[in-house]
């Protein structure tokens, strides 16, 4: 009878030891323990077989997941990159290029947040809508697509997060294409004739900029970009080099550049 009682004690003790919570750390270490409290920034636990009454603490930022004795699992994400931290943020923006009509084109952009520190942005422009200071009567379209990397803080404090997913300084690689036609003055036998010139341009641009968000409803975005491009504008064609839309390509060197000032409505 005593032997049976001893066997039962050993059996249930083994079950108790095996049925422990397990903390999986981000450095691939594991801790067999008993979880007693999960706070906002830390987890408290016991290791009864080593420290009977000592409560140990580990930061949630150091934990990958916890596997409880009943088989359930709980994962942990840094608050700065946790989607739940930004559940109230509006993730979409329709942007109007403020000064585009002054150069006789209309340009709109759409930005969509992909999560903390990342978003995509597409732009469509239509020539011939606005003021025509050069009297060249442009007709055509251009399009841009970029992937935006929004700058994170230089150092991290626990509990820190982005003020808004679309707010902050950013770096944006971008591809741009355009096709349009404009009136050109051509000198033939000492006489200037007006001809219609068709232009095709493409560029890869590296943009830097900053976006401000107000009341989770409106934003202001300013950026400049440099890169490389190709165009069928003849070299040394000064007028052709001026009449470019959305972005510009220098025919002689292939240098491309752009600048944008946009206001946006968030939804």
Do 62 and 158 sit in the same domain of this protein?
A: no
Do 43 and 114 sit in the same domain of this protein?
A: no
The answer to whether residue 142 sits within a structural domain is yes
Least confident of 31-35, 81-85, 159-163, 234-238: 234-238
Query: What is the predicted pLDDT for the residue at 197?
Result: 83
The answer to whether residue 105 sits within a structural domain is yes
3-state class of 253 per DSSP? coil
The answer to whether residue 14 sits within a structural domain is no
Selection from 128, 100, 91, 132 nearest residue 262 by Cα = 100
pLDDT of residue 16 exceeding 60: no
The answer to whether residue 5 sits within a structural domain is no
Query: What is the predicted pLDDT for the residue at 239?
Result: 47
Q: How many CB atoms lie within 10 A of CB 198?
A: 11
Do 161 and 227 sit in the same domain of this protein?
A: yes
Do 149 and 35 sit in the same domain of this protein?
A: no
Q: What's the CATH code of the domain at 126?
A: 2.40.160.20
Q: Print the domain residue range for 214.
A: 87-266
Do 43 and 98 sit in the same domain of this protein?
A: no
- pLDDT, tens digit, 9 for 90 and up, residues 183-220: 877 666 666 677 788 889 999 999 999 999 999 999 99
The answer to whether residue 2 sits within a structural domain is no
Task: Kindly report the average pLDDT of the chain as a whole number.
Answer: 86
Residue at token pair 């009454």: 53
Domain total in the chain: 2
Query: What is the predicted pLDDT for the residue at 7?
Result: 46
Least confident of 31-45, 121-135, 223-237: 223-237
Average of per-residue pLDDT across 159-164: 80
Hey, what's the torsion of the CAs at 232, 233, 234, 238, to 10 degrees? Answer: -170
Query: What is the predicted pLDDT for the residue at 104?
Result: 92
Q: How many CB atoms lie within 10 A of CB 245?
A: 23
pLDDT of residue 223 exceeding 90: yes
pLDDT of residue 55 exceeding 50: yes
Task: Using pLDDT thresholds of 50, 70 and 90, give the confidence band for residue 234.
Answer: confident
pLDDT of residue 266 exceeding 50: yes
Query: What is the predicted pLDDT for the residue at 247?
Result: 94
Average of per-residue pLDDT across 154-182: 87
- CA 218/CA 188 separation, integer angstroms: 52
User: Is residue 212 within 8 Å of residue 230, measured between CB atoms?
Assistant: no
Do 28 and 71 sit in the same domain of this protein?
A: yes
Do 168 and 138 sit in the same domain of this protein?
A: yes
Average of per-residue pLDDT across 140-150: 97
Do 39 and 132 sit in the same domain of this protein?
A: no
């Amino acid at each position: 009878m005593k032997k049976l009682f001893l066997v039962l004690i050993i059996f249930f003790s083994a079950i108790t030891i095996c049925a422990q919570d397990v903390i999986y750390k981000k450095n691939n270490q594991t801790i067999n323990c008993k979880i007693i409290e999960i706070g906002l920034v830390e987890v408290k636990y016991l290791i009864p077989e080593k420290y009977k009454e000592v409560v140990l603490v580990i930061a949630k930022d150091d934990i990958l997941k916890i596997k409880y004795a009943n088989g359930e699992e709980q994962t942990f994400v840094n608050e700065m990159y946790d989607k739940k931290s930004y559940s109230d943020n509006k993730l979409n923006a329709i942007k109007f290029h403020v000064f585009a009509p002054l150069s006789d084109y209309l340009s709109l952009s759409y930005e969509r947040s992909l999560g903390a520190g990342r978003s995509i942005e597409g732009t469509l422009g239509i020539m011939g809508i606005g003021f025509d200071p050069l009297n060249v009567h442009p007709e055509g379209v251009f399009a841009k697509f970029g992937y935006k990397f929004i700058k994170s803080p230089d150092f991290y404090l626990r509990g820190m997060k982005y003020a808004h997913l679309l707010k902050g300084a950013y770096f944006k690689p971008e591809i741009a294409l355009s096709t349009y036609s404009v009136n050109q003055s051509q000198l033939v036998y000492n006489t200037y004739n007006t001809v219609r010139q068709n232009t095709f341009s493409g560029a890869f641009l590296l943009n830097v900029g900053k976006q401000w968000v107000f009341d989770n409803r409106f934003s202001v975005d300013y950026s400049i970009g440099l890169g490389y491009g190709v165009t069928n504008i003849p070299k040394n064609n000064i007028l052709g080099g001026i009449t470019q839309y959305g972005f510009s390509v220098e025919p002689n060197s292939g240098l491309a550049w752009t600048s944008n000032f946009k206001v946006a409505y968030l939804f």
